[in-house]
């Protein structure tokens, strides 16, 4: 493709089509957050699990959140239907099928093993089910997928070390390590030693920071945990020095607009700071976080965010390009995706 690539101007009415068609990578998706209420009920029936909701409608009706913790309580309850390797496989395949419809060509899945091992489900069941789905996603949908194991930050560092130990037999099936769950009061530095160990072991490192928590948590995720990407990071705009650092070091932020809306981080999408992040030169990306709970998959995040503000084709290109550049794929695959991205934009010239 041409270099430097010039993005064609695209009329506002053609922008949603471009957003849907452009190939993209999703770098911030909790696979347990892709469990739709219908699948929760189907798995509950298959496994004889009793749910505290009478119907799919009643469960979906409970998805009204006031902050991160109000969501996490219901999200961990939903995951209780996952018991067998087939459950983990089926959950991930449902996500891959949906992601392929959105022209997601590469994805990096977060999973929370401690949510499952605490209920007596083995690490073997969790990782083998998800890994088999990643292999099948490539064959069935042409979507490449990598796994990132997250530590729950409301638990102790000792428990994170135990989880890492349990995962060691499967280390070849994991590309990286992340940090999620309730942020405020659980700063990144709580996990300094376990992340240092993961770094020695050669894992790629990411962490949720600056979702609800202060910019200081983004600083310590970078300087203490030494992560390569920040998940969310939207609170960074409160700290000009941090913004400079993120821009200078091209640290990607995996931003999740509909999540931020549903968890009341911003009052509406028009107030979201995605444009501010891009205009400050940050490597922002768009992602769905927990699409079954937040009312939209990846293309919904793109189209609704663009509909709410003055974002244009240049921003769309930047966001999709950032998603490939910030991903943990091989350089040759990255180059192929970037070429296809430019070809998709060419068809709008
Ligand atoms: N786990 C699932 N979704 C999350 C989010 N948005 N923040 C922190 N932990 C999570
Ligand atoms: Zn998340």
**Residue located nearest, by CA, to atom 10 of ligand 1:** 181
Pocket lined around ligand 1, Cβ cut-off 6 Å? 30, 33, 68, 75, 180-181, 208, 211, 259, 289-290
CB-based contact 239:210 (threshold 8 Å): no
Q: Which residues of the chain have pLDDT under 70?
A: 1-3
Q: What is the pLDDT of residue 4?
A: 81
Closest ligand relative to 213 C-alpha: 1
Name 183's Cβ contacts closer than 8 Å, sequence gap at least 6: 68, 153, 208, 209, 211, 212, 213, 217
146 C-alpha to ligand 1 centroid (Å):
18
The token pair that represents 42 in the structure block: 């189907």
* Nearest Cα to Cα of residue 261 among 302, 283, 294: 294
**Residue located nearest, by CA, to atom 1 of ligand 1:** 181
The token pair that represents 40 in the structure block: 């929760």
CB-based contact 80:122 (threshold 8 Å): no
CB-based contact 87:129 (threshold 8 Å): yes
Q: Residue 263 CA: which ligand 1 atom is closest? A: 6
CB-based contact 212:235 (threshold 8 Å): yes
17 C-alpha to ligand 1 centroid (Å):
29
Q: What is the pLDDT of residue 1?
A: 54
The token pair that represents 307 in the structure block: 């509909």
Q: How many CB atoms lie within 10 A of CB 9?
A: 10
Closest ligand relative to 112 C-alpha: 1
**Residue located nearest, by CA, to atom 4 of ligand 1:** 181
As a whole number of angstroms, the distance between CA 281 and CA 283 comes to 7
| Residue of 253, 255, 290, 301 with the most ligand 1 atoms within 8 Å of its CB, for mutation | 290
| Residue of 35, 66, 68 with the most ligand 1 atoms within 8 Å of its CB, for mutation | 68
The token pair that represents 3 in the structure block: 């270099």
**Residue located nearest, by CA, to atom 2 of ligand 1:** 30
* Active site (annotated) includes residue 314: no
Which strands make up the sheet holding 176-180, listed edge to edge?
24-30, 104-111, 144-152, 176-180, 204-209, 229-232, 252-255, 283-286
Q: Residue 112 CA: which ligand 1 atom is closest? A: 1
**Residue located nearest, by CA, to atom 8 of ligand 1:** 181
- List the alpha helices (DSSP H) in the chain: 15-21, 37-47, 56-61, 68-78, 85-101, 113-117, 123-141, 157-167, 192-200, 215-223, 240-248, 257-262, 274-279, 291-294, 298-308, 313-325, 331-346
Closest ligand relative to 179 C-alpha: 1
As a whole number of angstroms, the distance between CA 129 and CA 175 comes to 16
CB-based contact 291:269 (threshold 8 Å): no
Q: Considering the entire predicted model, what is its pTM? A: 0.98
Q: What is the pLDDT of residue 222?
A: 99
| Residue of 66, 72, 210 with the most ligand 1 atoms within 8 Å of its CB, for mutation | 72
Catalytic choice (183, 211, 212, 342):
211
Q: What is the per-residue DSSP string for 5-34?
A: --PPP--GGGHHHHHHHS-EEEEEEEGGGG
Q: How many CB atoms lie within 10 A of CB 72?
A: 19
180 C-alpha to ligand 1 centroid (Å):
6
Name 293's Cβ contacts closer than 8 Å, sequence gap at least 6: 33, 63, 65, 71, 74, 75, 262
Q: Which domains are seen in the chain, by residue range?
A: 27-346 (3.20.20.140)
Q: Residue 183 CA: which ligand 1 atom is closest? A: 8
């Amino acid at each position: 493709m041409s270099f430097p690539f010039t993005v064609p101007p695209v009329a506002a009415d053609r922008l949603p089509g471009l957003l849907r068609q452009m190939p993209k990578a999703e770098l911030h998706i909790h696979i347990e957050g892709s469990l739709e209420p219908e699948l929760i009920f189907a798995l509950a029936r298959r496994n004889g699990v009793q749910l505290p909701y009478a119907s799919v409608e009643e469960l979906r009706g409970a998805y009204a959140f006031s902050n991160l913790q109000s969501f996490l309580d219901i999200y961990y309850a939903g995951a209780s239907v996952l018991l067998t390797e087939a459950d983990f496989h089926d959950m991930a395949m449902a996500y891959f099928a949906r992601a392929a419809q959105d022209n997601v060509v590469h994805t990096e899945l977060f999973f929370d093993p401690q949510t499952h091992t605490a209920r007596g489900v083995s690490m073997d069941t969790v990782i083998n089910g998800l890994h088999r789905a990643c292999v099948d996603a490539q064959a069935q949908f042409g979507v490449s997928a990598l796994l990132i194991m997250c530590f729950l930050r409301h638990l102790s560092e000792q428990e994170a070390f135990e989880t890492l130990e349990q995962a060691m037999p499967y280390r070849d099936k994991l590309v990286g390590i992340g940090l999620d769950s309730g942020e405020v009061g659980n700063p990144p530095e709580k996990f300094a030693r376990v992340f240092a160990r993961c770094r020695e072991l050669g894992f790629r490192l990411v962490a949720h920071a600056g979702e609800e928590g202060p910019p200081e948590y983004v600083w310590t995720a970078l300087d203490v945990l030494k992560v390569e990407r920040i998940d969310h990071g939207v609170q960074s705009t409160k700290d000009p020095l941090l913004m400079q650092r993120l821009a200078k070091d091209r640290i990607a932020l995996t931003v999740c607009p509909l999540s931020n809306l549903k968890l009341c981080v911003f009052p509406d999408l028009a107030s979201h700071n995605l444009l501010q992040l891009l205009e400050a030169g940050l490597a922002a990306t768009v992602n769905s976080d927990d699409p079954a709970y937040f009312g939209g998959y990846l293309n919904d995040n793109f189209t609704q965010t663009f509909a709410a503000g003055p974002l244009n084709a240049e921003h769309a290109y930047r966001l999709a390009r950032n998603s490939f550049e910030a991903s943990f794929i091989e350089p040759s695959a990255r180059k192929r995706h970037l070429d296809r991205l430019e070809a998709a934009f060419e068809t709008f010239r």
